[in-house]
């Protein structure tokens, strides 16, 4: 599976991270996971998640009340 999308809108911590962890494990090394969330805490949570797992946070942007992230599976 080269790329995946996770719709985490409406979910609060820790659910977006838990679902992202499961989704990224299904990716091949180098695969991308695009995530959309509405929890403002997701900005810090996904940055910390990538630091702790060794995966790469390629982008983190806010569009209205939706936070969009792209994570590259490195490990």
Please report, for the chain, the start and end positions of each structural domain, with discontinuous segments joined by +: 3-72
> pTM of the predicted model, to two decimals?
0.92
Q: Give the CATH architecture of domain 3-72.
A: 2-Layer Sandwich (3.30)
Handedness of CA 8, 65, 63, 56 (dihedral sign): negative
Query: pLDDT for 13-71, tens place per residue?
Result: 899 999 999 999 999 999 999 999 999 999 999 999 999 999 999 999 999 999 999 99
List the beta strands (DSSP E) in 1-75. 3-8, 32-37, 56-63, 66-72
Here the tokens at position 40 are 């403002």
Residue 75 has a pLDDT of 80
Active-site annotation, residues: 13
């Amino acid at each position: 599976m080269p790329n995946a999308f996770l719709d985490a809108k409406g979910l609060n911590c820790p659910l977006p991270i838990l679902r992202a962890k499961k989704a990224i494990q299904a990716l091949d090394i180098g695969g991308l996971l695009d995530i959309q969330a509405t929890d403002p805490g997701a900005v810090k949570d996904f940055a910390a998640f990538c630091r702790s797992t060794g995966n790469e946070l390629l982008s983190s942007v806010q569009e209205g009340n939706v936070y969009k992230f792209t994570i590259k599976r490195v490990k």
